[in-house]
Structure 1
Amino acid sequence: MTVSLLFKKGYIGSLTLDHRILMGAMHLGIEGDREQLNQLKAFYSERAKGGAALIITGGAAVLPSGGGDHMYCLTEQDHRVQLQELIEAVHLARGKMALQLQHNGRYAKSSETGLEPVAPSAIMSKVTKERPVALSTKEIHDIRDAFVNGAVFAESAGFDAVELMGSEGYLLNQFLSPLTNQREDKYGGDFYKRMALPLEIVSGIRKSLGSDYPVIYRMSGDDYMDGSTTRAETVQFARELAKHGVDALNVGVGWHESRVPTVAAIVRAGAFAHVASEIRQAVNIPVIGANRIHTPECADDVLNQQLMDFVAPARPWLADASFAQKAKTGGREELNVCISCNQECLDHTMGHPPSPVGCLVNPRTGHEWKWGLKDRDHHGQQRQNIAVVGGGIAGLAAAKALAEKCERVTLFEAKGQLGGQFLLASQIPGKENFLETIRFYKTSLERLNVNVKLSYQPAIDELRAFDKVIIATGVEPNIPRLLKGTDLPHVAAYSDILSKTVTLGKRIAIVGGGGIGCDLAHFIAESQAEQSHRVDVTVISRSPKPAKRVGPTTRWVLISKLRQLGVNILKGFECKEITEDGVWVQNNDGQQFIEADQVILCTGQTENRELFDALKGHVPIETIGGSDIASELNAAKAIQQAYSLIYDSITEEASAKN
């Protein structure tokens, strides 16, 4: 790719940055835990070495009332010490880092803080289902002073800049919005009064630290909440922040309770660049944008159009710790692209309680410390000849991990293409980027000299000649034989539809309302939306909550899309019989008949273990992915299992030597 502005030097106040790709803030679910400090340092150090011009930490709470589970809090002395150790580690890796200061306000959970949540006004939070306590004037001043003191700490600890979190519906954003600020004192009422607290914080920081220390303000470019801050007010606020001494504006969009998707894969690349652009046109300081800027091409495009001055993607740095470095050196084919699935990142941080962040496409994320010490220097060991049978996502991950360990690897795939179930899933709207992951693995296997044999089913005797066999033969669609009618000619499995080996009908009943069933309904309804004839799609879900295992950050987007496309979802119904004309279903109120000329089964998967049974006892074998356990399997578990099988064995070998 040709870049023009991405790798031009940039400036945020007195801070000189080598290029324009920052790493945006995100919580990792391990902050504040001293036992996890080495992992935190290893995680950020890899991103510093990977070329991030400036790393922004996940938010550190300025007061306990604004904190949460596994979140740094600046009133804790040990948390301050840990943060100082963190910035020292990043500097040692030749990186630069900004400390983000945050107060959750009404988004804080009393179950996590042990305190009542506070906010500008006592208005119930749809996110936490708690009513916050309205802040007194003195408490507002305490929060103001805590932000200022947090900036003073950041400067003294060695952080290269500070960012104030005033977006995504957190406390400073709550003061700006009439939806959450209904005060009648100096901090509420007209917009000038609603701006007072954040502007006082900025002025306080400038008074304490002078004009040289870089201050970034993370502002909401659009709350996407009816009745919230207007566009004119938002632009006005941006100008006031610049007047009060902010060096750069990092523009976010949406609140957690907003019904406008902002992070889901279905959102087009660069969809919110225009929001940052409107702010940029109003101020004379740099503007940073982030949402849905996941590839170097997209980043280059928004900079070349002068829509923003810097980009600060977050999740793409989970997918590839060398995001900027690979973009700069032209290693696009080597780039592991974020697919915006949210399964191991946002779904983890939004959990109750939150859990440590990982990455579906990059199993190393979250294991940098443990694996980083043991994944080199295997050249002196006796190399093994290892066969991996199955070129789905688990097999690809296993082959890559084994080759990185310097084993001789042969990958066998019965079909003519790699990818398996992941390749099928790439047909779903919003999941096209799954092809990027397959491309990444193919490129990696070529670089690592893995012998890939497509359209090839190895004989048993051939496999017995290997030192070890990894079986990744995946899954088969489960056909519930006890369900009458599954053998009728108009019945198909989900894989038949996604592989396009079966023609679609006009009245379709999908049996199974899990993630696959709902994804398939989306695929069918979207693909037929512009056709001249109407296709009726009915999803029959045994659960009263369709797609219940789909993560919370994406499930609501999927269900909303199905409704928009006119898909009929029957909740809490069991399929009793398939006939030539449709399906009999039943719930507590009785039976009903759904007319259909095509019935598609999304009734789970079963392990493909034929090869395992044939080889057992003849050669050392391991099963991974769907061939190991098909129930509740997902790609994240499959990839993680493959890598853990290889890298955890390295850890055990290193421990035994020591």
Structure 2
Amino acid sequence: MSIFDRLLTPLAVGQTVLPNRMVMGAMHTRLETLDRPHARLAAFYAARAAGEIGLILSGGFSPNAEGVMEAGGPLFDRAEQLDEHRAVTRAVHAAGGKIVLQILHAGRYAKVPECVAPSAIKARINAWTPRALSLDDIGRTIADFAHTAALAVEAGYDGVEIMGSEGYLINEFAAAATNHRDDAYGGSFDARIRFALDVVRAVRERLGAAPMLIYRISSIDLVDGGLSGAEVATFAQRVEAAGADLINTGVGWHESAVPTIAASVPRAAWREAIRNVKRAVSIPVMASNRINMPEVAEELIASGVADCVSMARPLLADPEFAKKTRLGLADEINTCIGCNQACLDRIFTERTATCLVNPRAGREIEFPEGRARVAKRVAVVGGGPAGMAFAVNAAERGHAVTLYEAAPRLGGQLNMAKVVPGKAEFNETLRYFTARLAKLGVDVRLGEAVSAAALADAGYDEIVLATGVTPRVPDIAGVDHPKVVSYVDVLTGKVDVGARVAIIGAGGMGFDVAEYLLGDARESLDPEAFFRAWGVDVANANAGSGGLTKEMGATNPAKPRRTVHLLQRKAEPPGKGLGKSTGWILKARLRRAHLMTISGATYDAIDDQGLHYRVDGVAQTLAVDHVVLCAGQNANRVLFDELAARGIHAKLIGGADVAAELDALRAIDQATRLAVEL
């Protein structure tokens, strides 16, 4: 018996039987904005179907022009669009999979001037104020949902999912915070959920009994004025009675001030909100949010929290997640680390989604399949993210790869990242690369600082240098003082810094060091610690609270562990370059830990008294025990230059190529592309 026997058990959803309990959740990709969009979407979904995922939920398509996510966003309202959708459904079915279309009306989140909502209340995350829907508008919109559902089935989808979560239109009707109507669709709880139930009934009637009808409910709103846990349970029961075959659970609204899916959220943290839905209904319930490993998914099903699990970004990271689970190869799953850098951050900045740990995601048609025509002997120097990614991808193409790493272990900068509170998931990336290197037979030589002479004598066909970076030392008087240390010294544990610290440099590394010195690692590992820190009542017992407590965002620490100042030369507020979807989380955590920031600083000297600096010409001194340098990096090209002097050309990747920022996203993408081009 497999240790994942429940996860691998078939599941009946209405009249459809899914082969296992693993579902690819819906996500925005913006692939429709690229060249050959239908070919890209077909290849993207087909790869996940071939990877044996039990069901695919497509990205959201609006039922009318008012509800699109953005101008030109996905819309499915015309028969003329059937063929482009058939390209997707045929590809998925040919690969052995099943797919449903998510119908998503963005409501007041639609970034278009004609956006609509239950009431004319502007969302703080949208520049446009919505128009309140009239009763005629509501009837038309319900009919639009049913029309799109019918088109979906005609296009070959196995059913539809109605998006009623995350603060979109249907969710806005249900919550008193955004529904101030005084007609049949507002006021009481029964009236506020009427729109959702009318949509489900209309869609069920239009589809008939056979196609799957999934409803995504907000299991906990995490906004003031949201539904209580008891109301969510009653709502779920009414959705079942209206004709849904399965209820999927969402968590939070996009404007919520509580993180829901970033790596700083513990795995399966929202289980009790999901269990509340499961207890209320007799149809299957799907769990979602921060489920990135089969062990987590199996436990949720085994403990009765849910009947199946939705994993969106984990299927970006590894399209073969389900297949590897079935084959007992969980150690070879390329795990989603919840970083959001290549998926949500790109979506929120109007770019297409991909994945930091899997650059092929969304780019399937750009990468050749199979082995290289000519196998080569390849040396890779450096076992950080770029070196490991290149070695794995080159070996998969059939090349004979030798990987040299001067340190006694693989990982490079990942070994520093993983110790920062909220970034423990990088351990999974290291586990994946280590397992794949062994499986592929890469000759990994740890603790070996290979020389240019040795490389030259070995006669490799290709030499790739992923030799990384060295910390940049700024030109400051006294920078060689004993109290001055680099971020490497701190994050590797070489130096245990004192109680008073100044950090020079407020880029990503500066913030990571600040979090390492001030943060609480338990918050991203223990759900109870997370809920206390962010003011969440996951039981959602109080009416109108949406699951928030009055202590929202308060950890109430007795005393900060250290006094930390973060300084930067730029006059702008620190942290502007942090990730769009995660930077606010880190800054909020550090505010609670009493981090002090200083902008527009110029540095005079470092001495026994501390750090001497100026702001607007006014001289000041920070009496600190240590000054941590996070002032950038220099590319380590010593070996490259030595090889060039011998007339040997080597290729540079990762930080050795561009050291402006420690950018694992760029490093892994560059390494992967180079490996498949050999």
TM-score, structure 2 length as denominator? Answer: 0.91
Residue correspondence of structure 1 range 380-399 to structure 2 within 5 A? 381=374, 383-399=375-391
Residue correspondence of structure 1 range 356-367 to structure 2 within 5 A? 356-367=352-363
> 580, 585, 589: which one pairs with 2:613?
585
Cα distance between partner residues in 2 of 1:78 and 1:567 = 56
Aligned to 1:600: 628
Residue correspondence of structure 1 range 326-365 to structure 2 within 5 A? 326-351=324-349, 354-365=350-361
Kindly indicate whether residue 551 of structure 2 is the aligned counterpart of residue 550 of structure 1: no
Aligned to 2:526: none
Aligned to 1:567: 595
CA 1:377–1:538: 2 relative to 1, 3 Å: closer
Q: Tell which has more relative contact order, 1 or 2 (C-alpha 8 A, sep 6+).
A: 2
Contact 2:497–2:625, Cα closer than 8 Å, also in 1: no
Contact 2:107–2:115, Cα closer than 8 Å, also in 1: yes
What is the letter of the counterpart of residue 3 of structure 2? T
CA 1:281–1:537: 2 relative to 1, 3 Å: same
Cα distance between partner residues in 2 of 1:457 and 1:368 = 36
Cα distance between partner residues in 1 of 2:413 and 2:192 = 51
Aligned to 1:538: 565
Contact 2:560–2:593, Cα closer than 8 Å, also in 1: no
Cα distance between partner residues in 1 of 2:215 and 2:448 = 56
Count of residue pairs brought into register by the alignment:
638
Residue 430 of structure 1 aligns to a residue whose secondary structure is coil
Aligned to 2:418: 426
Residue 582 of structure 2 aligns to a residue whose secondary structure is helix
Aligned to 2:91: 89
Cα distance between partner residues in 2 of 1:267 and 1:577 = 40
Percent pairwise identity: 39
Aligned to 1:251: 249
Cα distance between partner residues in 1 of 2:521 and 2:202 = 58
CA 1:508–1:33: 2 relative to 1, 3 Å: closer
Kindly indicate whether residue 675 of structure 2 is the aligned counterpart of residue 646 of structure 1: yes
Range moving further from structure 2, 262-271 or 152-161: 152-161
Kindly indicate whether residue 472 of structure 2 is the aligned counterpart of residue 472 of structure 1: no
CA 1:306–1:441: 2 relative to 1, 3 Å: same
1:263 Cα deviation from its structure 2 partner: 0.9
Cα distance between partner residues in 2 of 1:41 and 1:624 = 31
Aligned to 2:267: 269
Cα distance between partner residues in 1 of 2:620 and 2:666 = 38
Residue correspondence of structure 1 range 186-585 to structure 2 within 5 A? 186-351=184-349, 354-371=350-367, 374-378=368-372, 381=374, 383-464=375-456, 465-480=459-474, 482-526=475-519, 534-543=561-570, 544-585=572-613
1:32 Cα deviation from its structure 2 partner: 6.3
Cα distance between partner residues in 1 of 2:561 and 2:422 = 22
1:331 Cα deviation from its structure 2 partner: 0.2
Cα distance between partner residues in 2 of 1:124 and 1:104 = 13
Cα distance between partner residues in 2 of 1:21 and 1:460 = 49
Aligned to 1:44: 45
What is the letter of the counterpart of residue 541 of structure 1? Q
Cα distance between partner residues in 1 of 2:261 and 2:584 = 12
Aligned to 1:655: none
Tell me the alpha carbon deviations over residues 397-425 of structure 1, each in whole angstroms, 9 at most, x when there is no partner: 11112212212211111111111111111
Contact 1:339–1:434, Cα closer than 8 Å, also in 2: yes
What is the letter of the counterpart of residue 182 of structure 1? H
Contact 1:59–1:71, Cα closer than 8 Å, also in 2: no
Aligned to 1:636: 665
Cα distance between partner residues in 2 of 1:121 and 1:388 = 60
Contact 1:31–1:70, Cα closer than 8 Å, also in 2: no
Tell me the alpha carbon deviations over residues 76-110 of structure 1, each in whole angstroms, 9 at most, x when there is no partner: 55543211211111001110001000110110112
What is the letter of the counterpart of residue 96 of structure 2? R
Range moving further from structure 2, 492-501 or 150-159: 150-159
Contact 2:378–2:461, Cα closer than 8 Å, also in 1: yes
Cα distance between partner residues in 2 of 1:495 and 1:523 = 12
1:213 Cα deviation from its structure 2 partner: 2.5
Contact 1:39–1:370, Cα closer than 8 Å, also in 2: no
What is the letter of the counterpart of residue 88 of structure 2? L
> 129, 132, 138: which one pairs with 1:131?
129
What is the letter of the counterpart of residue 559 of structure 1? K
CA 1:45–1:278: 2 relative to 1, 3 Å: same
Residue 416 of structure 2 aligns to a residue whose secondary structure is helix
1:639 Cα deviation from its structure 2 partner: 0.5
> 604, 608, 611: which one pairs with 2:639?
611
Tell me the alpha carbon deviations over residues 461-519 of structure 1, each in whole angstroms, 9 at most, x when there is no partner: 22112222111100001111x21221000100000011111122111111111111111
Cα distance between partner residues in 2 of 1:361 and 1:524 = 27
Tell me the alpha carbon deviations over residues 359-387 of structure 1, each in whole angstroms, 9 at most, x when there is no partner: 1111221221121xx23143x52x32211
1:531 Cα deviation from its structure 2 partner: 11
1:621 Cα deviation from its structure 2 partner: 1.2
CA 1:385–1:568: 2 relative to 1, 3 Å: same
Contact 2:519–2:589, Cα closer than 8 Å, also in 1: no
Cα distance between partner residues in 2 of 1:588 and 1:227 = 45
CA 1:2–1:129: 2 relative to 1, 3 Å: same
Range moving further from structure 2, 403-412 or 469-478: 403-412
1:592 Cα deviation from its structure 2 partner: 2.3
Cα distance between partner residues in 2 of 1:89 and 1:4 = 28
Cα distance between partner residues in 2 of 1:201 and 1:531 = 50
Residue 604 of structure 2 aligns to a residue whose secondary structure is strand
CA 1:496–1:56: 2 relative to 1, 3 Å: same
1:217 Cα deviation from its structure 2 partner: 0.4
Aligned to 1:59: 60
Residue 238 of structure 1 aligns to a residue whose secondary structure is helix
Cα distance between partner residues in 2 of 1:278 and 1:445 = 43
Contact 2:111–2:127, Cα closer than 8 Å, also in 1: no
Cα distance between partner residues in 2 of 1:370 and 1:590 = 55
CA 1:528–1:228: 2 relative to 1, 3 Å: closer
Residue 619 of structure 2 aligns to a residue whose secondary structure is strand
Residue 39 of structure 1 aligns to a residue whose secondary structure is helix
Tell me the alpha carbon deviations over residues 248-295 of structure 1, each in whole angstroms, 9 at most, x when there is no partner: 110101111101110110111110011110011111111111111111
> 651, 657, 661: which one pairs with 1:622?
651
1:534 Cα deviation from its structure 2 partner: 3.8
1:527 Cα deviation from its structure 2 partner: 6.1
1:137 Cα deviation from its structure 2 partner: 1.4
Contact 2:371–2:398, Cα closer than 8 Å, also in 1: no
Kindly indicate whether residue 106 of structure 2 is the aligned counterpart of residue 104 of structure 1: yes
Cα distance between partner residues in 2 of 1:160 and 1:225 = 33
Residue 553 of structure 1 aligns to a residue whose secondary structure is coil
Contact 1:216–1:247, Cα closer than 8 Å, also in 2: yes
Residue 325 of structure 1 aligns to a residue whose secondary structure is helix
Aligned to 1:654: none
Contact 1:414–1:456, Cα closer than 8 Å, also in 2: yes
1:34 Cα deviation from its structure 2 partner: 6.4
Give the unaligned 5+ runs of structure 2: 523-556
Residue 37 of structure 2 aligns to a residue whose secondary structure is helix
Give the unaligned 5+ runs of structure 1: 651-658
